[in-house]
Amino acid sequence: MNRNAGTLLPFQIVMGVTSGAIGAIVAVIGELRDELGFRDISVGIIVAAGFLASFVAQIVLAPFADRGYGHLMAMAGIAISAASLFAMAVGDAVPIWIASRASLGFAGGLLLPGLRRAATVLDPQRAGENLGRLIIGEIIGFILGPICAAFLAEIGGIRLPFVVFGIGMAVFLPFVARLPQDRGQQTRRARQSTDLLAYRRLQGALLLIFGYFFLIGAFEAVLPLMFVDRGGGALETGIGFTIFAIPIALVSTRAGRTADRVGPARVAIIGMAISAAVSFSYGLIPGIWPVVAVMTIAGVADGYGFTAGQVAVSRSVPEARQAGALGLMGAAEVLGAGIAALPAAAMYEAWGAGPTWIAAAAASLVCLLVGHLRLRGTEPISPPQPPLGWTPTELNRTPPE
């Protein structure tokens, strides 16, 4: 039994609320395109802006979480998220939406490195399991966010979800202020995380994440449009993404344990490769619900692949540099998704779903292959072995200068 499950709960809740807001945007962006008269390429730019702003935040600011500023960064992230959602509630022009989505992405980039670091340093022996539990919080938010947004849009119009989620973020700020303190080993200097790229194993793990998020970028930029073009709406999109996310939540903890036991790189490569192979079919299957049914297979593979990918990144660097490495991972996530989102939307507008999904899946598989080649021949950094009779407080003490 994992004695740290209760300690992780507040961090899971923060992840859930944050991902719920992102999921809300995904659910309604197809209908927003039609209501506001945006082009498909404009939707791609909006999506890419969020990913790329998050990339900047995680590259530049993640090292400060290794110095103990993760708590402050989480509070700032929630406050900026609330302001961004309120701007979306009133914005009716593409530039406003680009700026608002970029601000929301930047806010997520502030939050994620510190939260993920907290999961890995709480009990380094169970970093995979704890990251899996953190993903459960993230996925539950992503499950509930689209459904809530679709319901609110049905009863109060397409703007109401952003008002409600913005208020929810603002009300949530005092909870974030009381998050447990990070007791892991910390570095005394906020070194730039890019120096960690000297670790060849980290290079390979980041390439896996980068390639996997090609598919996520296509998901957010293309699937909502595809579902609306096939006769669906916010409700169908929300239900579809929820069904996709449920398997991820169900298998994430087990996936983390498997990664801890078998080896994170192996589990990540297999899971991500299956997800990419399944994605080839999205543009070839007619309708909405047959596509959603196939997406559940990818959901199981994603639960294993993405969880193990995070563990692979964590095991590539020392404990005191966890936030820096996980910030690089977050940057690889949003860079891959941001790079894919715009061309995916442009391809969908020009050539339709079939070529778009074939290109996204092929690009993902190429990155996975390159990542595998960089990982081959390297060894993970093992977590410290706890002494007999250890407690989480003793294990996660901050060393003296």
Q: Which of 213, 381, 249, 373 is nearest to 312 (CA)?
A: 381
Q: In the numeric block, which tokens belong to residue 393?
A: 């407080």
Dihedral in degrees, nearest 10, Cα atoms 363, 292, 130, 207: 0
Q: What are the structural domains, with CATH classification, of the chain?
A: 8-177+194-378 (1.20.1250.20)
Q: Which of 97, 337, 353 is nearest to 222 (CA)?
A: 353
pLDDT digits (tens, 9 = 90+) for 183-231: 656 666 555 677 888 889 999 999 999 999 989 888 878 888 899 899 8
Residue 109: its pLDDT value, please?
A: 85
Q: Are residues 376 and 291 in contact, defined by beta-carbon separation less than 8 angstroms?
A: no
Residue 333: its pLDDT value, please?
A: 85
The kind and range of the H/E element at 10 are helix 5-36
Q: Which contacts of 154-161 are long-range, i.e. CB under 8 A and separated by 24 or more positions? A: 154/234, 154/235, 158/28, 158/31, 158/32, 158/35, 158/234, 159/89, 159/90, 161/24, 161/27, 161/28
pLDDT digits (tens, 9 = 90+) for 249-300: 889 889 988 988 888 999 999 999 999 999 999 989 999 999 999 999 999 9
Q: Which of 15, 140, 137 is nearest to 81 (CA)?
A: 15
